[in-house]
Amino acid sequence: MKPSLSLHFQNRVPSAIRLTQIEFMKRTDQVVAVNTAIGNVSLPMHPSMVKRMFALDAQGSPFRQGVVKYTTTVGEIEANQTFLHLIASSGFSTQGLHAQITDGGSHAMELAILGVCGAAGSRTRPLLVIDPTYANYGSMAERTGRTIVAVTRHLEENGHFTLPKLSAIEKVIQETDPAALLVIPYDNPTGQFFSQKTLNELGRLCVKYNLWLLSDEAYREVFYTHDQTSSIWGITEKDVPEITGRRISIESTSKVWNACGLRIGALVTDNRDFHAQAVAENTANLCANSIGQYIFGALLHESKDQLQAWFQHQRLYYHKLAKAVTSGLKRHVPGLIVSTPDAALYTVIDVRNIFGANFDANDFVMYCAEKGQVLVKGVKTTLLVAPMAGFYSPRPGEPNPGKTQMRIAYVEPPEVMAEVPQLFAQLLSDFQLDTGRK
């Protein structure tokens, strides 16, 4: 006899963004993977951060003697001020905002869900999301004993996701009584951009129904439209009376600052009580990475103009990749529905017009991870993409809209991303032959 796993562990499956990588690592056939399943940015960090990283033993560095102590649970003053400085550099007031450093954006997500959802008196109030949404929100909710309810967007034939009407969102609020509404203004996975006008409208719903407004702003400033930068911190009392005290943003160094492995994030809020209790909760984790906080803190000493120049550089880089990848996919796979993102660094593709609604994209992505290979410039290569079913909340008795969809991230160098459309097309053709599909 052996001790048994908890029910939670028994039922746990890998996240959609990590699934293929886990399977690919089991291979022994020397095939190389182009990994576009996860937003693991391959660009260098901001130069000021790189400079600090390579000078940890320099005069004035807290790590000069090789001592790495805990920081306070709330995080170093410099790191917290840096997150507020970045919000201000995007043109938003930081008056009355409180920041707390976390172990990446993921940890901030978990703390936010833990802090605002769950039991409220005799009721259990869930988190309301707009599907498809970043897959790990569902995982974090399950881990913390919380639940998720959703209103769904649909990928149209022209590659655009439809944002649900406010009346549809309001109907779900009335039916499910959520504690909070989650928005991702620079959306992962859809690449949809939420304008300030849209955020104001969603803010009014939160005030009307007394909800928290959570905003995942990991990709703030990475957008390709002619709109202005948007944020929940751009919602004013004039536009949305009583919005103050119900907002929480999830911040990260991962995407805009190219520091995925640094694992530094933050919870920023205009609610003093939430901030105090979030810090109290996080004392069980002691503190976030102290070296990562120090490296990130270099951005505090960059001016608004310098930061704006960096944002523009990031936008131009990813917009060029987006246009190249989406046009290449349309050219190499006739009939493929390809989303054209307005923000973030992802494209969603749908094969429903090629294989029908019963096609399971998970079968294809696992084929690519476990056995797929194409000769690319003399190198045996496969492609890892994320199945989209895991980005939608399950609804008993209803088909999952993501069953025929996949997400591609623009995270490999441009010369590698240029190979992705043809590589995807060839693997899809090989999969058809291997499985006898037409």
Higher pLDDT among residues 226 and 240, named by residue: 240
Residues 52 and 191 in one domain: yes
Residue 76 lies in a domain: yes
Residues 376 and 429 in one domain: yes
Residues 170 and 218 in one domain: yes
Residues 235 and 87 in one domain: yes
pLDDT at 93 over 80: yes
Residues 296 and 312 in one domain: no
In the block, tokens 């103009």 appear at: 305
Tell me how far apart the alpha carbons of residues 407 and 334 are, in angstroms, rounded to a whole number: 18
- DSSP assignment of 103-135 equals SHHHHHHHHHHHHHSEEETTEEE-EEEEES--T
End position of a domain, from candidates 302, 335, 360: 302
Total structural domains within the chain: 2
Residue 171 lies in a domain: yes
Residues 6 or more apart whose CB falls under 8 angstroms from that of 273 comprise none
Residues 22 and 151 in one domain: no
Residues 401 and 328 in one domain: yes
pLDDT at 436 over 60: yes
CB 413 within 8 A of CB 62: no
Residues 274 and 354 in one domain: no
- Pair of tokens at residue 385: 């993409």
Q: Vertex 142, ends 401 and 200: CA angle to 5°?
A: 65
The domain that holds 223 is classified in CATH as 3.40.640.10
Residues 268 and 211 in one domain: yes
Q: Could you tell me the residue range of the domain that residue 22 belongs to?
A: 7-44+307-435
Residue 209 lies in a domain: yes
Question: Which of 133, 123, 209 is CA-nearest to residue 173?
Answer: 209
pLDDT value at residue 86: 98
| Per-residue pLDDT tens digits for 227-285 | 999 999 999 999 999 999 999 999 999 999 999 999 999 999 999 999 999 999 999 99
CB 123 within 8 A of CB 271: no
The domain that holds 387 is classified in CATH as 3.90.1150.10
**Percentage of the chain exceeding pLDDT 90:** 82
In the block, tokens 């995407």 appear at: 255
